[in-house]
Amino acid sequence: MDSPRLVLLVFLLLFLFLSPDSQQPSQSQQNELDDLIAEEHNALEVLRSSRYGDLDVYQGTWLNITGFRDVDGLAWDVLPDVKHQAQEQLKYFLGEEGQRKLYGLDVPVTADASVDGGKAQDRLQLDNGQISLYRNVTGIVRGNWRRSPPFRSIRPPRINLTSLTPQVALTSQDYDRNVTGSGGKIQIRLDEKTGEELVVSDDVVREISGTMTLRDESSPGDGWDINLHGVHFQSFGGLILTTTSEKFAGLFALPHFSLSPHTYSLVQGLLNKTLSSAILAQESSMSKSPIYPWASSSNHPSDILFPTPRCEYVVYLQQDPVEFKIGRVSSATLKLLEDELRFPTGAPVPNAPDMVMSMTLFSPDCGFVLESVGPPESTTHSANHLRGPKIESFLWLVKRVSALFAIISGLQIVLLIRQMNEAATPSTVSRISFYTIAIMAMGDGFMLMGFLTAGIYIDAAFLMLFSTAFIAFLSVCVFGMRFLIAIWRVQAPERRERERSGSPTNGTPSQTRQTPATVTPAGTETLPLPVTTRAANRTAPVIILPPDQDLSAAETEDNTITQNTNQVVTTDSRSAISTLYSRFYFILLGLIFLSLHATSWPQRLRSVYANIMVFTYLSFWTPQIYRNVMRNCRKALRWDFVVGQSILRLVPIVYVYSVPSNIVYVETDTRAAFAPVAWVWIQICALASQEVLGPRFVVPNGWAPPAYDYHPILREDDLESGAMPTGSAQVAEEEDVGKPDSAAVNAKGTPPRAKWKRTWDCAICMQDVEVHIVPSESSGGNETAGSTSTGLGSGILGRRSYMVTPCRHIFHTASTIPTLPAESRAAILDVLFEPSEPLRALSAGLLAGNSFASYDALVAAVGRQLEVLLESSSAGDAEWLDGILTAHPRLGEKKVDSALSRGEQAGLNQGGSQEGERLRALNEDYEKVFPGLRYVCVPLQHCNELLFVLPSADIRLLKRLGQWKEPADNHGGHASTHQTRRYQVGKDGGS
């Protein structure tokens, strides 16, 4: 950016942030604000001058404030009956003592005969005339509501909205928040301000506010959110709350909703002080918006643009005396409990019981009365009015649940790390479904965003919530993404092959590649390899050596090609990882925003969406089941990972579905909680069945690509078809003819141990492999037919103990190695590596105490043991490692039997004796020139793999290929032969 532009941008920013904002309203806004403040002053004067009973429809007395005049047409004739019902609830909960507190009398008042005052008196715990009630009711109560039976015949009043609110141009005549259903849910969040209170003798009245969420069949989203303001009488636990708007000055008429003259005077004295302060603050405030400070709508700024009429409410709440599980406690003990909750000192106190409140709700403009469902009208166990925890108990519950989720996330990370360590090779990583891990990471991402949002809004639990969010961040953004990237990289060739096969063929038919059949050394074709196996390279790698006359030019060209190739591969890898990151987080954020928007949907649609999300999330094993079928893979994941992740990810879902006091306020359904558990259990059973019965045991033929089965059920019919493991046909002939055949390979001529069992020699350890044989139908006889099902069942369950390769050799399965004798385990090490006593001593315990999913996993585990020896600074470990490494044969020295050496010297074993002698001599010369060299890694020119053996290479040519640099020894001499020494080859820096 040019310097003048930068200076201009900085100047504009400073002007915007530092220039004073006058906030001067327009003339119309100023006039509206003046009218609003004048109306508030008028209502405050009416409040100060009015007396108890001035609002009496039957006496023809009204209040000169909005909504309480005769011409306004509101249903104030119902108010006396509503007050009477609220008093009945007080009598039921508190009896005569509650009546005395209500009227401010020193002598008990006789309870009405219609109420069981004696029963209520037995439920009280008096301490010097004090009732065991919470003094601070800040918290959340929830429950069910219904239409009050005595008021069901009320007709909605006819109101002239134009005359009621002439200053507001309403955009609609339809009332919002109009309850039309017969029942529903209600939740009230109470916030009691401690600074505004009035104390008269033993009576304390305190200002309180709340947010009521009312829901029925017609309510949008989670219901209507309504702001309420009112008072709380601490002496008898009564609350009166009301809405306030341009057409209803409910807060200024709040004393007239009182149930007695005594409470009227208390409320009037408190409001005279609080409302005066609020109006003065409104006049001196910088905000000049003409809005009531006590507006009942949460989104009241939008009411200025699109005002609509809303139903107004008057709410009566009556607190039930506190009851502990340990028995009744005095009011003094309850006060100590409340003080400990608000200002913890570590004192041993019992858990605070939930608050229980009854409710009576009256809408004077919409004409209906609602009540909470509970005794004495309803005696069911689930109907207990409104119930919920105090805010301190709720915050403690939030911290405890957050700690539980943190433990769950930590255990998920531990299981994920163990699975990542298990999948340490490309072959094991390729078995794992990318989408299984991605779904788990998505769930962790939802938990991360949820706890971050909760930590922002809940200050008291900020530290615990953000700690849990950090652990979830590690799970999704560090370990989860790392595992996803590893799977993405390993499965990249497979994806490219699918894309290539799915794209239309543009070439001629002669250009289409045909997969050749796999041919064994005996010349017989076998079953095709798994569908995701890369096609075999049938030609030997061509190595073009540079000519003597232009060696430097060829080196320069080859190095340039290698660098360009590596740069392209690195660029493609980075591009793929960048694409993976962007797609993952885009989908995650999109789902989060969609879920937030779903909270405003109707209840049924929102419930369907939530259940679909839960079902999709808990289907994380389904992609793995599908991948097992496509790859014909029995086991891809550790069982502790499968079971552990299933349990850990089910715990939050079951908690939300089944715990009534869950922190997210989701309506519980214990029976519905069994559905996700059953679904995850079905998936686990499918994975277990794939491991035991085969990955395609329920897949019809032709539905999945052809793949080779390494654990087939062997049948007697295979003897004639030649499909039995190598040597089985010769054994059959020996049994028929009665004479042994010395040419039999890989099988024993001894009789079978059982009637339908055969034994072979394991091609690795040369020990017995016992296999169940399913008899053929042509064997005849009822006994044979009866044993067919037995043999089939034994074959299905026992075939995991052996493995048959495409070349028809039979092996012990790697998972059965711990059950083999020590000699057999030593023989396995000799075949996989080289005969070495130090290696046997090192890895004997490893093979005896661990079960391996494959021989690749066994080789990787032994390799990790050797890495530990390599990194050790002990001289004894160095000698031990040297003894293991020196067991590896030199080129041309001897014929080798291990799989590792056979792979390295495959070309040498197929060559003649003269080539072997030549390479042996060259190897001796090589060791004389470079003593102690363990290995040389030569970078290829056109691939990223490493070339370990150069067939028919001459040592003189190797010297000319690059500049050999031997690192100097720290002691000034050459390195010891017991140390691994590295040399730099050429300009590429291969070592």
Bridge partner residues of 178 (DSSP): none
Q: For residue 508, what pLDDT is reported?
A: 43
What is d(CA 214, CA 932) in angstroms, rounded to the nearest whole number? Answer: 83
| C-alpha triplet 683, 686, 692: angle, nearest 5° | 150
Residue with tokens 């059973």: 685
* 147, 369 contact by CB (below 8 A): yes
The Cβ of residue 729 has, within 10 Å, a number of other Cβ atoms equal to 18
Alpha helical stretches, state H, 19-158 = 27-49, 79-103, 117-123
Does the residue 488 lie in any domain? yes
What is d(CA 117, CA 101) in angstroms, rounded to the nearest whole number? Answer: 14
Q: Same structural domain for residues 159 and 272? A: yes
Does the residue 220 lie in any domain? yes
Number of domains in the chain: 3
Last residue within a domain, chosen from 812, 828, 849: 812
Q: For residue 451, what pLDDT is reported?
A: 93
Does the residue 829 lie in any domain? no
Q: For residue 503, what pLDDT is reported?
A: 58
Residue with tokens 């699975």: 419
Does the residue 532 lie in any domain? no
Last residue within a domain, chosen from 788, 812, 836: 812
DSSP string for 869-900: HHH---HHHHHHHHHHHTTSPPTTTS---SHH
Q: Same structural domain for residues 374 and 414? A: no
Q: Same structural domain for residues 374 and 400? A: no
Q: Are strands 768-772 and 938-939 parallel, antiparallel or unpaired?
A: unpaired
Q: For residue 181, what pLDDT is reported?
A: 86
Q: What are phi and psi of 759, to 5 degrees?
A: -125, 140
Q: For residue 279, what pLDDT is reported?
A: 86
What is d(CA 606, CA 611) in angstroms, rounded to the nearest whole number? Answer: 9
Does the residue 971 lie in any domain? no
Q: Are strands 203-215 and 768-772 parallel, antiparallel or unpaired?
A: unpaired
Q: Same structural domain for residues 172 and 221? A: yes
> Radius of gyration of the chain from Cα atoms?
42
Alpha-carbon dihedral 830, 831, 834, 837, rounded to 10 degrees: 0
* 584 contact partners, CB below 8 Å, separation of at least 6: 438, 441, 481, 484
Nearest to 855 by CA among 832, 825, 839, 836: 832
Check whether the bond before 301 is cis (ω within 30° of 0).
Answer: no
Q: Same structural domain for residues 312 and 409? A: no
Does the residue 909 lie in any domain? no
What is the pTM for the complete model shown? 0.68
* 494 contact partners, CB below 8 Å, separation of at least 6: 430, 532
Q: For residue 96, what pLDDT is reported?
A: 86
Nearest to 731 by CA among 713, 746, 712: 746
What is d(CA 296, CA 228) in angstroms, rounded to the nearest whole number? Answer: 6
Last residue within a domain, chosen from 640, 669, 698: 669
The Cβ of residue 578 has, within 10 Å, a number of other Cβ atoms equal to 10
User: Residue 644 belongs to what domain range?
Assistant: 394-496+578-669
* 307, 170 contact by CB (below 8 A): yes
What is d(CA 988, CA 991) in angstroms, rounded to the nearest whole number? Answer: 9
Q: Same structural domain for residues 238 and 173? A: yes
Nearest to 705 by CA among 538, 487, 498: 498
* 672, 657 contact by CB (below 8 A): yes
Q: What is the DSSP letter of 799?
A: G
Chain centre distance of CA 538:
46
Q: Same structural domain for residues 659 and 736? A: no
Q: Same structural domain for residues 659 and 743? A: no
Q: Which helix (H) or strand (E) holds 185?
A: strand 183-200
Q: For residue 506, what pLDDT is reported?
A: 47
Q: For residue 828, what pLDDT is reported?
A: 78
Q: Same structural domain for residues 199 and 174? A: yes
* 371 contact partners, CB below 8 Å, separation of at least 6: 85, 145, 146, 147, 148, 358, 359, 360, 361, 377
Q: What are phi and psi of 812, to 5 degrees?
A: -70, 140
Alpha-carbon dihedral 222, 225, 231, 237, rounded to 10 degrees: -10
Name the residue type at position 339: D
Name the residue type at position 228: L
Q: For residue 881, what pLDDT is reported?
A: 80
Residue with tokens 């069982």: 639
Does the residue 950 lie in any domain? no
* 221, 299 contact by CB (below 8 A): no
* 414 contact partners, CB below 8 Å, separation of at least 6: none
Q: For residue 510, what pLDDT is reported?
A: 42
Q: Same structural domain for residues 370 and 420? A: no
Buried b (16+ CB within 10 A) or exposed e, 510-541: eeeeeeeeeeeeeeeeeeebbbbeeeeeeeee
Q: Same structural domain for residues 460 and 320? A: no
Name the residue type at position 301: P
Averages of pLDDT over runs of 10 residues in the chain (991 residues) are 62 65 59 80 92 91 91 92 94 88 68 43 54 91 92 85 77 81 91 78 88 86 87 94 91 94 93 88 66 69 68 95 78 86 85 92 94 82 84 92 95 95 86 95 94 89 93 94 92 82 52 41 39 43 39 45 50 74 91 90 87 95 94 89 96 92 84 92 94 84 76 68 53 40 41 61 70 66 47 57 74 69 76 79 77 73 81 79 73 54 56 69 72 48 37 38 42 38 36 34
Q: How far is CA 292 from CA 37, 303, 745, 805, 988, in A?
A: 9, 11, 97, 83, 77
Buried b (16+ CB within 10 A) or exposed e, 413-429: bebbeebbebbbeeebb
Does the residue 170 lie in any domain? yes
Burial class (CB in 10 A: 0-12, 13-18, 19+), 109: middle
Q: Same structural domain for residues 227 and 372? A: yes
What is d(CA 254, CA 469) in angstroms, rounded to the nearest whole number? Answer: 44
Nearest to 66 by CA among 368, 370, 365: 365
